[in-house]
Amino acid sequence: MSKNIAAAPVSVQFVEVTEDQDGQRIDNFLRTALKGVPKSLIYRIVRKGELRVNKKRVKPDYRVKPGDLVRIPPIRVSAPREDVPVKQGLADVLEAAVLYEDKDLIIINKPSGLAVHGGSGVSLGLIEALRQIRPEQRFLELVHRLDRDTSGCIMVAKKRSMLKFLHEGLRQKGRITKIYQALVVGRWSTRTHQVDAPLNKNELKSGERIVRVQPEGKPSITLFRVLRRFGMTATLVEAQPVTGRTHQIRVHAQFAGHPIIGDEKYGVDELNREMKALGIRRLFLHAAQLRLTLPNGERLRVEAPLELQLLAGLARLEETGSDGVEVQEGSNE
């Protein structure tokens, strides 16, 4: 059982990391421990070196080990707000969205529009909702994240050991494969199989976060495959991120000249408005499939169906006169 740390210590605290906290990133360790403390404050004390592990400064991606002594500086924050109660409708949606579950892992088909966790401007996210509707589950943690408007497969660990196992799998090539589907603008060429373009996160004066292709960015690769064409208007593609950067598929699609339909940050406003008339009123990006190896060696493949709104939008797109041609593997234009 994890040790509880006071939400707002007014004097320096020293906390020893326990076995069940092994492998957590230091920023996530603090976010879990310091309930009610803003993420920005946690990141600031790490960056400034006010937080120490074994008397040394550490980076936000440092992973704690049993026996580590964490020095937490004095923090003054307002009392945390009470949890927003989960409405029965959302609870029913999430229970119906469970694609796979065992004693260690849940995989959910996350609805579009639901953030994975609460934060600035978001009072209730997927993980907070799950903890409320599964009160008997003592441990529930996100394994990875999806953008708020992206739907599809997301993993939630029910044990610390599974969380650590899956985090290691995400860092090792080929252990975990994520397959997405996206509807993009225009006619994507079957010859464009890969986008290899470095990505850099930028923050605008407004505080909005935006990702751009820049030479000094982090190496980023996405594999693409054409699934179906709708004339010259749009193409349904499969996208497999080899690396896991913020907004990677969205920015790589834009960089290739085919932004994702419904993308208000990187897309084409005029075409987005036209697609809303066809019923596609959201970002058309869906985490369609997960392939992974479980700790017992079993290979697991989980698929999340497209929501009815997107399927209906594709049908209407076909009715407008686009060909709706399915493209065979390896076919040429």
Q: How far is CA 167 from the centre of its chain?
A: 13
Nearest to 112 by CA among 149, 153, 152: 149
List Cα–Cα distances, 311 to 28, 97, 233, 286, 308, in angstroms.
37, 17, 17, 12, 5
Tokens of 61: 């991606």
Taking the C-alpha atoms of residue 47 and residue 88, their distance in angstroms, rounded to an integer, is 41
* SS3 label, residue 155: strand
List Cα–Cα distances, 296 to 102, 104, 168, 331, in angstroms.
12, 12, 15, 38
Residue 154 and residue 128 in contact, taking contact as beta carbons nearer than 8 Å: no
List Cα–Cα distances, 163 to 67, 103, 233, 261, 267, in angstroms.
19, 13, 42, 33, 34
Q: Which residues, 6 or more positions from 20, have their beta carbon under 8 angstroms from its beta carbon?
A: 1, 2, 160
147 is catalytic: yes
Taking the C-alpha atoms of residue 243 and residue 116, their distance in angstroms, rounded to an integer, is 20
Taking the C-alpha atoms of residue 147 and residue 167, their distance in angstroms, rounded to an integer, is 18
Angle at 118 between CA 313 and CA 156, to 5 degrees: 75
Residue 246 CB neighbour total at 10 angstroms:
15
Q: Which of 147, 149, 263, 269 is catalytic?
A: 147
φ, ψ of residue 242 in degrees (nearest 5): -80, -35
Catalytic residues: 147
